[in-house]
Amino acid sequence: MDWLNILIQGALLGGLYALFAIGLSLSFGIMRLVNIAHGDLIVLSAYIALVTINATGLGAIASLVVVVPAMCAVGYALQRGLLNLTLSGGLLPPLLVTFGISVIIENVLLELFGADIQRLHAGTIETASLQLGGIAVGAYPLVVFATAVAAIAGLQILFYRTALGRAFRATSDDAETAELMGIDNRHLYAVAMAIAMIFTALAGVLMAIRTTFDPAAGPIRLIFAFEAVIIGGLGSLWGTLLGGMVLGLAQAVGAALSPTWQILAGHIAFLIILVLRPSGFFPRTRD
């Protein structure tokens, strides 16, 4: 049992899970909205990539040129047109509306594409490997991990070094007073969702190169994202990366014992942490 290899694989898998989780984290941090449809939006991105590839012959990674703007538009419209309306109604509307949207997306995809399992192909990078200090590390997982790190670093710069980032933090603190500063909440929330969709689109395409997907693949992605966020601690993006890595590690260990244990091992690790340390490793936001 090549444990070192397993651990490295698991840690790198955390990069993908962190990418899943960024969108969820942003939307909760800025708007206090847990988007139950988040996993389905990741899968939607993968399908948009599929359609783009079939229509234009672009490669999988190149298709991001279409997928990212498309998902940004979807996110902006969804937030501005629907989700903004749920924010003032209490606990039930955001939850049940995003739940309804999740079911709608899943079934529309089912009607349009059928239940067939799909996959995107990116060519040689899928199987390439690098030698790092004598160990063979998959090039693709490394790329995904690096993307996650770059994404989080970029977001940290956005939040702490730009006027827009200040506006996000202020609105998250006190939306009404932020309006007095000239910040249009409805537009800002929609922009936040659009930004979240950039990473959702990335996550969807990168995932689809690595694993198969079908219309029903959304919920489990939501759960992975959710587990990464909770393990890492609400409100901290670097914590989410760590949470993703813990999840990835648990899954890699489980998979090494037996392939059918992979996802279950992740759930068990999550539940243990939930019972022992419910605020995660790097909690920052008060709920």
Residue of 66, 37, 7, 16 whose CA lies nearest to 193: 37
Residue 156 identity:
Q
Stretch that binds another protein, among 11-19, 65-73, 135-143, 270-278 (CB under 8 A): 270-278
Q: Of 1, 57, 88, 91, which one interacts with another protein (CB under 8 A)? A: 91
Burial category of 57 from C-beta neighbours within 10 Å (exposed 0-12, middle 13-18, buried 19 and up)? exposed
Q: Of 135, 153, 220, 257, which one interacts with another protein (CB under 8 A)? A: 220
**141 forms part of the interface with another protein (CB under 8 A):** no
Torsion angle defined by CA atoms of residues 232, 238, 242 and 243, in that order, rounded to the nearest 10 degrees: 30
**9 forms part of the interface with another protein (CB under 8 A):** no
Q: Do the Cβ atoms of 13 and 269 come closer than 8 Å?
A: no
Report, in Å, the least distance between residue 189 CB and another protein. Answer: 13
- For another protein, give the closer residue by CB, 144 or 252: 252
Report, in Å, the least distance between residue 16 CB and another protein. Answer: 18
Give the H or E element holding residue 138. Answer: strand 135-138
Q: Of 6, 61, 62, 85, which one interacts with another protein (CB under 8 A)? A: 85
The site map against another protein for 93-112 (x = CB under 8 A) is xxxxx-xxx-xx--xx-xx-
- Token pair listed for 193: 């969702």
Q: Do the Cβ atoms of 17 and 151 come closer than 8 Å?
A: no
Q: Of 169, 238, 281, 283, which one interacts with another protein (CB under 8 A)? A: 169
**78 forms part of the interface with another protein (CB under 8 A):** no
Sign of the torsion formed by the C-alpha atoms of 173, 179, 183 and 188? positive
- For another protein, give the closer residue by CB, 9 or 98: 98
How many other C-beta atoms are found inside a 10 Å radius of the C-beta of residue 81? Answer: 10
Report, in Å, the least distance between residue 9 CB and another protein. Answer: 21
Residue 56 CB contacts under 8 Å (≥ 6 apart), including other chains: 63, 66
Q: Which residues bind another protein (CB under 8 A)?
A: 34, 36, 82, 85-86, 89, 91-97, 99-101, 103-104, 107-108, 110-111, 163, 166-167, 169-170, 172-174, 176-185, 219-220, 222-223, 226-227, 230, 260-261, 263-264, 267-268, 270-271, 274-275, 278, 287
